[in-house]
Amino acid sequence: KAGVTQTPRYLIKTRGQQVTLSCSPISGHRSVSWYQQTPGQGLQFLFEYFSETQRNKGNFPGRFSGRQFSNSRSEMNVSTLELGDSALYLCASRPAGTAGTGELFFGEGSRLTVL
């Protein structure tokens, strides 16, 4: 069974640009969560989607947004990039029947560098 797939793995942008990251969950998983990982702030929850609906949102500015498609694939978008947005963005999916348990399967991440 293929794992969580994130694309692109690495990307470089400049301040003020926008970026879109993609995540394909494990087949059959309908919930997708996104996390930001930085050396200073560690791992922080961005948002969770289930059946194309945002179920939970972390404490990030409105420049960070996401969506989920009918095939459970998800994208997140960051507009007007700032230097501080440089991070590893991790996507995770969970199996059916694990609602509330927090058990997640993570992808390898998309490493964004903002210059």
Could you list the residues that contact another protein (CB under 8 A)? 4, 31, 33, 35, 42-45, 48, 55-56, 58, 90, 92, 94, 98-109
Tokens of 72: 């459970």
Looking at beta carbons only, is 48 or 85 nearer to another protein?
48
d(CA 102, CA 109): 19
Least gap, CB of 39 to another protein (angstroms): 10
Q: From CA 31, how far away is CA 67, in angstroms rounded?
A: 12
**Based on CB atoms, which residue is closest to another protein, 15 or 55?**
55
